Amino acid sequence: MKNWRESYKAKVCTPDEAIQKIKNAKRISFGHICSESTVLTEALLRNKKLFKKLEIAHLLSLGKSEYAREENSEYFRHNALFIGPKTREAANSSYGDYTPTFFFETAKLFEKDGELALDAMLLQVSSPDEHGYCSYGLSCDYTKSATENAKIVIAQINKFVPRTFGNCFIHIDDIDYIIEEDTPIPEVQPPVVGEVEKKIGEFCASLIKDGDTLQLGIGAIPVAVLNFLKDKKDLGIHSEMISDGIVDLINLGVITNKKKNLNPNKSIATFLMGSKKLYDYANNNPAIELHPVDYVNNPIIIAQNDNMVSINSAIQIDLMGQVNAEYVNSKQFSGAGGQVDFVRGATMSKGGKSIIALPSTTAKGTISRIVFTFDEGVPVTTSRNDVDYIVTEYGIAHLRGKTLRERAKLLIEIAHPNFREELRKKALEKFGTL
């Protein structure tokens, strides 16, 4: 039998040597979020003159994202499938791009015959076990598919990457070049929860019953929701991400996963994002499993969880119930991400609910997030046909099965009081009566 330790030694090189191996690449990708190897990204920048308009296709990055800056546009072209703060300018410019996609379909895009087939994949993984298997550790999502299908795989072996379980492993034999460097994992501290978020969190928590399985998105509202679940029993997790707050509820005995009919006794996710507390908890813990995004976020799989409740955020909602969760001031702000994946999966679930939660205003209360209609050019993230519950700090609007008039009336009732009269006037002009 082949000795993986011998082949391991032969693959070890410096970051700059590894980048030299992909100088003819036309399209590459990085590990998602915390699986991005900043060691390799920095080497890519140091050797940028090897490339001409190298396409870098990926989702969210916690790194510096210098490849997406205008001064590097001669060498790199960033193609964002989800936009973060440091790639937003590029994605909305002439020197970058944005590709609309549902999160669960990103794995398919990176397959060998996919629309975004890769010449190379750069990522970081855990130290190998005695059998030569490394864990993807922090992000399985599209990272696994991209790695398995790329022509060249360059991996940083990093002892700080947790060894997570699930369908989340790669063998040393499937890595072409190895970088041995131990660098701390980026930490994302929980956001500050204000009074508005607390009220929204309390309303959302009121829709959650003992034994429900939850999906929670990113931001202050999901954190606020978790704070109001401490009196619940036997909750489960099937979510694209796991954060520090979920660890707290596991430790309190609130999340047990005992009532789940799919993957019982396990919290299922496709990536981790939080602090060292989360990473340490997930390390070698069989109660948490990471699986590829085309499993975790697949609406058909999500729907197999009975009593599935998804909670996601939005930027705007119009009076028909259409949701904009990705567009601000005529520019792409983020992306669809996994919102629609879970909206559809949860509403197909037996006893399931989909919740879209948002503050009623923005810009210090001067702009209503509930609007009569979207501005020209604003994309619809979640359609009016998919929407279920809408929550603001003023209450809950259950839109599923409601007429357009009923929806308008319910949404006006949970809009900020300063904007209700104007919204009601426009709705009456359209419908005649409410």
- pLDDT digits 0-9 by tens, 195-246: 999 999 999 999 999 999 999 978 899 999 999 999 999 999 999 999 999 9
For residue 416, give the 3-state DSSP assignment. Answer: coil
What ranges make up the beta strands (E) of 44-132? 54-58, 76-80, 96-98, 120-125
Instruction: Indicate if the pLDDT at residue 1 is higher than 60.
Output: no
Q: What pLDDT, on the 0 to 100 scale, is given for residue 90?
A: 97
Q: What pLDDT, on the 0 to 100 scale, is given for residue 324?
A: 98
Q: Do the Cβ atoms of 77 and 48 come closer than 8 Å?
A: no
Identify the CA nearest to 337 among candidates 408, 426, 270, 414: 270
Give the confidence band of 89 by pLDDT, cuts at 50, 70, 90: very high
176-199 burial, b at 16+ Cβ within 10 Å, e below that, comes to bbbbebeeebeebebeebeebbbb
Over pLDDT 90: what percentage of the chain? 97
**Model confidence over 91-100: pLDDT tens digits?**
999 999 999 9
The residue annotated as part of the active site, out of 36, 55, 240, 393, is: 240
Q: How many helices (H) and strands (E) does the chain have?
A: 15, 27
Identify the CA nearest to 217 among candidates 417, 32, 356: 356
Write down the mean pLDDT value for the chain.
Answer: 97
- Segment 373-395 shows an average pLDDT of 98
Q: What one-character DSSP code corresponds to residue 127?
A: P
Neighbouring residues of 171: CB distance < 8 A, sequence distance ≥ 6 = 4, 131, 132, 133, 134
Evaluate the CA torsion angle 396, 397, 400, 401 in order and state its sign. positive
The Cα 242–Cα 236 span in angstroms is 12
Q: What pLDDT, on the 0 to 100 scale, is given for residue 190?
A: 85
Q: What pLDDT, on the 0 to 100 scale, is given for residue 313?
A: 95
Residue listed under structure tokens 């007429």: 403
Q: What pLDDT, on the 0 to 100 scale, is given for residue 189?
A: 87
Identify the CA nearest to 118 among candidates 149, 82, 77: 149
Report H helices in 70-227: 88-91, 106-109, 141-149, 195-206, 220-227
The Cα 382–Cα 353 span in angstroms is 15
Identify the CA nearest to 83 among candidates 67, 107, 95, 100: 100
- Segment 191-198 shows an average pLDDT of 94
Report H helices in 349-416: 404-413
Give the confidence band of 434 by pLDDT, cuts at 50, 70, 90: confident
Give the confidence band of 321 by pLDDT, cuts at 50, 70, 90: very high
Q: What is the pTM of this model?
A: 0.96
Q: What pLDDT, on the 0 to 100 scale, is given for residue 362?
A: 97
The Cα 415–Cα 393 span in angstroms is 9
| CA torsion, ordered 284, 189, 313, 292, to nearest 10 deg | -20
Tokens of 235: 């909750």
For the chain, how far is it from start to end, CA to CA, in angstroms? 75
**Model confidence over 128-159: pLDDT tens digits?**
999 999 999 999 999 999 999 999 999 999 99
Q: Is 165 exposed, middle or buried (0-12, 13-18, 19+ CB in 10 A)?
A: middle
For residue 34, give the 3-state DSSP assignment. Answer: coil
Give the confidence band of 86 by pLDDT, cuts at 50, 70, 90: very high
Residue listed under structure tokens 């949860």: 346
Distances (CA, A) of 57 to 96, 143, 312: 10, 12, 25
The Cα 367–Cα 388 span in angstroms is 24
Beta bridge partners of 313: 357
Please confirm, yes or no, whether 406 is among the known catalytic residues: no
- Segment 251-275 shows an average pLDDT of 97
Distances (CA, A) of 430 to 1, 248, 319, 320, 376: 74, 48, 11, 12, 18
The Cα 224–Cα 204 span in angstroms is 9
Q: What pLDDT, on the 0 to 100 scale, is given for residue 292?
A: 98
Q: Do the Cβ atoms of 261 and 234 come closer than 8 Å?
A: no
Q: What pLDDT, on the 0 to 100 scale, is given for residue 289?
A: 98
Q: Which of 1-5, 71-75, 244-248 has the lowest mean pLDDT?
A: 1-5
Q: Do the Cβ atoms of 56 and 31 come closer than 8 Å?
A: no
Q: What pLDDT, on the 0 to 100 scale, is given for residue 433?
A: 87
For 64, other C-beta atoms within 10 Å of its C-beta total 13
Identify the CA nearest to 83 among candidates 379, 378, 333: 333
Instruction: Indicate if the pLDDT at residue 2 is higher than 80.
Output: no
Give the confidence band of 73 by pLDDT, cuts at 50, 70, 90: very high
Q: What pLDDT, on the 0 to 100 scale, is given for residue 219?
A: 86
